[in-house]
Structure 1
Amino acid sequence: MTNVLDQVILGNPIQNYFILAIVLLFVSMIKRYLSQWLANLLFKEVRKWAPDIDQHEFSHLLLRPLEYFFLLVAFMLTIDHLNFPPELNITVYNGFSLKGILSTLLELALTLSIIWIILRVIDFVSLMISKSADLLHDKTDNQFIVFFRDFFKAIVFIFGAIAFIRILFGAVLVNKIIAGLGIGAAALALAAKESIENLICSFIIFFDKPFRVGDTVKVDTYQGAVEKIGLRSTRIRTQDKTFVTVPNKKMVDSILDNISLRTQQRAVFRLEVAGDTAADNLLKVLQDFKALLKQHDKVADGFIVNLNDFTKDTYVIQVIYLTNVIEGVPFNQLKSEINLGFIKILENHGVKLSSTTVEIHEK
Structure 2
Amino acid sequence: MIAFLEHTYFGNTLIRYLVFIIIIIIAAVVGKIVFYISRNVLQKKAARTKNRIDDLLVQTLEKPLVFLIFIIGLSIALKTLTFSSSADTFFGNVVEIILTIDIFWFVIVFIDALIVNYVAPLTAKTKSDLDDVLLPVVRKIVKVTITCLAIIIIFDNFGYDVTSLIAGLGIGGLAFALAAKDMLANLFGGVTIMTDKPFKLGDRIKIESYDGIVEDIGLRSTRLKTLDGFQLVVPNATIANSILENVTKEKSRKVKMNIGVEYSTSMQKMKEAKKIIEEIVIKNEDTDDKSIVSFNMFGESALNFLIIYWIKNLDNILNAQHNINMEIKRRFEKAKINIAFPSTTVYLKK
Report the TM-score range of the alignment, normalised by the length of the smaller protein: 0.7 to 0.9
| 1:322 shift after superposition | 0.7
Cα pair 1:228 1:236 within 8 Å, conserved: yes
Mapped to 2, the partners of 1:350 and 1:62 lie a distance apart of 86
Aligned equivalent of 2:210:
222
Look up the match of 1:26.
33
Match of 1:244 among 214, 217, 232: 232
Shift of 1:312: 5.6
- TM-superposed CA distance for 1:342, in Å, is 0.9
Q: Distance in 2 between matches of 1:88 and 1:331?
A: 85
1:177 aligned to 2:172? no
Q: Secondary structure at the match of 1:10?
A: helix
From 148, 163, 171, the counterpart of 1:162: 148
CA contact (8 A) 2:207 2:243 kept: yes
Equivalent position SS for 2:294 = strand
Note the alpha carbon deviations across 1:244-277, whole angstroms, 9 max, x for none: 3322222222111122211111112221222212
Partner in structure 2 of residue 212 of structure 1: 200
Letter in 2 for 1:251: I
User: Do 2:71 and 2:98's aligned partners in 1 also have CA atoms closer than 8 Å?
Assistant: no
Runs of 5+ unmatched residues, structure 2: 1-14, 343-350
Q: 1: distance between equivalents of 2:118 and 2:179?
A: 33
Determine if the alignment matches structure 1 residue 128 to structure 2 residue 114: no
Does the CA-based 8 Å contact 1:123-1:149 persist in structure 2?
no
Give, in angstroms, the shift of residue 128 of structure 1.
Answer: 0.8
In 2, Cα distance between equivalents of 1:112 and 1:82: 23
Is contact 1:90-1:98 (8 Å) kept? no
Query: Residues 1-363 of structure 1: matches in 2 within 5 Å?
Result: 9-10=16-17, 12=19, 20-33=27-40, 34-35=42-43, 37-38=45-46, 41=49, 44=51, 65-77=60-72, 79=74, 81-86=76-81, 97=90, 100-101=93-94, 103-125=96-118, 127-133=120-126, 141=128, 143-170=129-156, 172-181=160-169, 183=171, 187-311=175-299, 313-327=301-315, 330-355=316-341
Q: Work out the percentage of aligned pairs sharing the same amino acid.
A: 24
Specify whether residues 80 and 353 from structure 1 end up closer, same or farther in structure 2 by C-alpha distance, changes over 3 A only: same
SS at match of 1:303: strand
TM-score (norm 2): 0.77
- Answer yes or no: is the 8 Å Cα contact 1:162–1:174 preserved in 2: no
Identify if the C-alpha distance between structure 1 residues 233 and 210 changes in structure 2 by more than 3 Å, giving closer, same or farther: same
CA 1:241 to 1:311, structure 2 compared with 1: closer, same or farther past 3 Å?
closer
1:62–1:120 Cα contact (<8 Å) kept: no
My pick for the range that moved more, 8-17 or 183-192, is 8-17
* Aligned-partner Cα distance in 2 for 1:173–1:236: 50
Alpha-carbon distance in structure 1 between the residues aligned to 2:242 and 2:300: 44
Q: Is the 8 A contact 2:216 2:224 kept in 1?
A: yes
Contact preservation (8 Å) 1:268, 1:320: yes
CA contact (8 A) 1:219 1:257 kept: yes
Q: With a CA cutoff of 8 Å and minimum separation of 6, indicate the structure with the bigger relative contact order.
A: 1
Cα distance in 1 for partners of 2:84, 2:332 equals 101
Preserved CA contact (<8 Å) 1:275 1:312: no
Q: Which runs of 5+ in 1 are unaligned?
A: 1-7, 47-57, 357-363
Q: Is the Cα contact below 8 Å between 1:89 and 1:97 reproduced in 2?
A: no
Distance (whole Å) between structure 1 residues aligned to residue 295 and residue 154 of structure 2: 83
CA gap 1:316/1:85 in 2 versus in 1, 3 angstroms: farther
Provide TM-score, normalisation by structure 1: 0.75
Q: Deviations over 1:280-316 (max 9, x none)?
A: 1221121121112222232113311122212363111
Bigger Cα displacement from structure 2, 242-251 vs 9-18: 9-18
Report what 1:51 is aligned to. none
Kindly report the root-mean-square deviation, in angstroms, between the aligned alpha carbons of the 2 structures: 3.7
- Secondary structure in 1 matching 2:265: coil
2:346 aligns with none
Please state how far the C-alpha of 1:96 moved relative to its aligned partner: 8.7
